[in-house]
Amino acid sequence: MAALPFSTTCRHSSSPLHHNSKSSFIGFSQRNNIWQLLVITKSISRKSIRKLSVKNVASDEKQELKDPLAKRDTFYEFIPDSASIASSIKFHAEFTTPFSPEKFELNKAFFATAESVRDSLIINWNATNDYYERKNVKLAYYMSMEYLQGRALLNAIGNLQLLGPYAEALTKLGHNLEDVANKEPDAALGNGGLGRLASCFLDSLATLNYPAWGYGLRYKYGLFKQHITRDGQVEVAENWLEMGSPWEILRNDVSYPVKFYGEVIPGPNGSKQWVGGENILAVAYDVPIPGYKTRTTINLRLWSTKVSQEEFDLQAFNSGDHAKAYAVLRNAEKICYVLYPGDESIEGKTLRLKQQYTLCSASLQDIIARFEKRSGKRVNWDTLPDKVVVQMNDTHPTLCIPELIRILIDVKGLSWEKAWNITKRTVAYTNHTILPEALEKWSLTLLQDLLPRHVEIIRMIDEELIHEIISEYGIDDLDVFEQRLKKLRILENIELPSSVMELLSTEETSTVDPVKVIEVEDNDIMATEKEEKKDDDIDDDDDDDEVGEEGQEEDNENLSIEEDTDNKVEVRFKVDPKLPMMVRMANLCVAGGFSVNGVAAIHSKIVKDEVFNEFYELWPEKFQNKTNGVTPRRWIRFCNPDLSKIITKWIGTEDWVTDLEKLAILRKFADNEDLQLEWIEAKRRNKIKVASFLKDKTGYVVNPSAMFDVQVKRIHEYKRQLLNIMGIVYRYKKMKELSAEERREMFVPRVCIFGGKAFATYVQAKRIVKFITDVGATINRDPEIGDLLKVVFVPDYNVSVAEMLIPGSELSQHISTAGMEASGTSNMKFAMNGCILIGTLDGANVEIREEVGEDNFFLFGARAEEIAGLRKERAEGKFVPDPRFEEVKAYVRSGVFGPYNYDELMGSLEGNEGYGRADYFLVGKDFPSYLECQEEVDKAYLDQKRWTKMSILNTAGSYKFSSDRTIHEYARDIWRIEPIELA
């Protein structure tokens, strides 16, 4: 009997994670050298059954359930040894892996090992979700377009506390655990910090026993695989699913229809019917997310898209028109092909919008179905916010708001008022950027074409928002009101709703003084009328109109006032036909959500003071800060075992892995010479690993004794890789001007490591990649420089590369233009691993510097509050560049780094205004400060005792930046959920 990936009997086809009502998986037993799944039946002695109890961690009250699995048997805890694990791996190698049976090579060993681990996860996975369902707990649903998970094997084994047994088992089978783990491709479900944060959050949610699910899309090719050639970055399709994924389980019984295009027709009771158009299916793939040292295993549900096979045009295929035959199938499947498809074309924009809506629609249909199932026969929709909270990770899932309203009104029959009220209490929004291009706007025309029903709902939300603004502030001053609408409205350059126009017209009319009837002589009346006409600049040609009865004169005057009022309102709030009509997704998030949070203290301040200041004044209670964090399991415990052992030794416990505040204990040992020697040795071993890795990846040989200086992150102008490489060019130029002896005396040897992907259509970012690689090629083969300076660009940067580089890094660069990085999380990972940061006061750098100590952070550059003034100074032509900056630009243009023409790249740093010029990100302004700060870095590195103390204090001060702390704050302040532990 083959090992079953999930139980054989399910209670209902709609169950999100099936649990066997007759039996439970407990482990393996060997029979005829084949490992088989055992079941516990009711005949097993009660003594052998360990009861499942549930612990409410928040209240610390432990209750043993009388019927812990709702009239089904429980399981005892099976802790496998290396022999049973080896047999389990052998079983999967023979029966379940997608490889031929003749050989047991590394790829096959990885799949067999992963499937063995998955068997150990499934019982906890099913039990966790079964408990959530039966107890009808409130769940947090995390909605994200990205999950940058990295490799799962070592993380899962580590969380299960089985690293030793699995290593020993694989040794018996002729393989090394590390070699096997290295065969796992990184799951290509994300790009940068946004997706990595989402994955850290899932790890913390499971570890802390919070009831939660993640929702995302199952990208077939991810973003792209990055190759570095002589021409710079080249993108090719990522192949992470080429052999399949052993972690995911296809749920053929969980799929939902998703509609595009079509038309909207009136339905009963104010509802609408969305008919016609294009219909696809979103199908669920589930991935288990295990917690550390806990049974809790939560779910990440990823959607893939398809159409029913009936859509395949067999007649067209048989007639030879093959493209037509499967066009509908391909059109549906391509929605989940690529993360962030290029959106320069209308087709690209449409595809991106389809992706976002697919995520929102399928996930919300699933959430609603699960809510109804848990509610029983009578569903009280008012309780939805008490059982469900949806967290939108940035603006990509914004369509959750109109989609939830659509489902509640059109499918479930609720009124607009009730649906709008429920939605506003259910959905929350995390802002991750202040960059205008990242605060998404969508063309109204495109949205109207693709999602006509949702545009109707967005218009209604916009109208509700305007009326709330009027209710709060009034419309006495139309100039102020107009400016407020420009900031707050969801719809941009779109006519005001008729209800608002009527209100404005009425209000404008009411401000005109009415005609007063008083008893005066006729001659006085005539004189007064003439004087008023003179004051109001009424044309003399209208004098004849004044002759007649008094009532007629009054009517004419009132008619004139009404016409003027309408014209004034229309002129003031008119649509500019030269500008596009847009939908501002961030504004929709703020208006439709009950919570808005930034992700670092300085970022949240900018959000309140600048980005959404008018919203903050309207709803101050909505706004919060939740400083990001990273999981200490993956980012120090598992990726840096040498340092982890030292920390455990000196702290006296391994509890720091789930209680990172204990790292602060290291502060009292920072001057201890024994600790410093152990610390230096751990860093040296990690640097040797990095040097070997760089040789394998790039062919460059580097000296592990040099300082390892690292900047790895998405390539973007605001992150200022350009500042870093221009500083290196300056360093290289100065070296070339000195003798060999002078160079050795003046410069600390450095290995400068870069990594990151430039978006495929981001031309300037790709120029920066090309520049870095050209500089590296020149410097690295210069015999005069030798090991004093190396520049290495690591291709295809991902989580696994980060797990290698970060433990061996000594200096890490986080040098974005102040006020432009929302938070950053790689800075936290580097600090946690004892790497010292050089950076600006931007994002989480501010808080990291506070925690690790100002003396242990290399600070340079303009402050966030200075940026606007500096750009204004530049626009006015008052900026005077530092001579060293001009020197570097001239040196680059001289052709020393090859024949490529860098005029466009250097030109972006010149001029006073214009798109792509005027040094918008202030590289030139911060350049002299950066060079001086790097001189301080060299001085500090020469004193290794001081440097090591700084390194220890960085690790000790990083305790705040655990995603566990962040998740506790989300759970307490936003989601209002409590941890539930299966004991």
Rounded CA separation 201/963 (Å):
6
Rounded CA separation 681/684 (Å):
5
Rounded CA separation 14/17 (Å):
9
Hey, how many other C-beta atoms are within 10 angstroms of the C-beta on 841?
18
Q: Are strands 427-430 and 232-236 parallel, antiparallel or unpaired?
A: unpaired
Strands (E), 270-374: 272-275, 278-290, 297-306
| Residues recognised as catalytic | 432, 713-714, 719, 825, 829
The answer to whether 145 and 355 are in contact (CB under 8 A) is yes
Strands (E), 144-236: 212-217, 225-229, 232-236
Rounded CA separation 924/886 (Å):
9
Q: Which two tokens stand for residue 86?
A: 């080896």
Q: Which positions ≥6 away from 827 have C-beta within 8 Å?
A: 812, 814, 837, 839, 843, 844, 845, 848
- Residue 434's nearest CA partner among 759, 17, 816 is 816
The answer to whether 65 and 981 are in contact (CB under 8 A) is no
3, 14, 18, 982 from 7: Cα distances, Å: 10, 15, 7, 19
- Residue 909's nearest CA partner among 889, 894, 928 is 889
Rounded CA separation 328/311 (Å):
7
DSSP output for 238-288: --TTTT--TT-EEEEEEEEEEEES-EEEE-GGG-EEEESSEEEEEEEEEEE
The answer to whether 770 and 232 are in contact (CB under 8 A) is yes
Q: Which positions ≥6 away from 820 have C-beta within 8 Å?
A: 434, 435, 718, 842, 921
Q: Which two tokens stand for residue 284?
A: 């669920």
Q: Are strands 212-217 and 139-143 parallel, antiparallel or unpaired?
A: parallel
Q: Which positions ≥6 away from 98 have C-beta within 8 Å?
A: 111, 243, 244
How much is the CA Rg of the chain, to the nearest whole Å?
32
The answer to whether 860 and 817 are in contact (CB under 8 A) is no
Q: Looking at residue 56, what DSSP letter applies?
A: E
The answer to whether 802 and 638 are in contact (CB under 8 A) is no
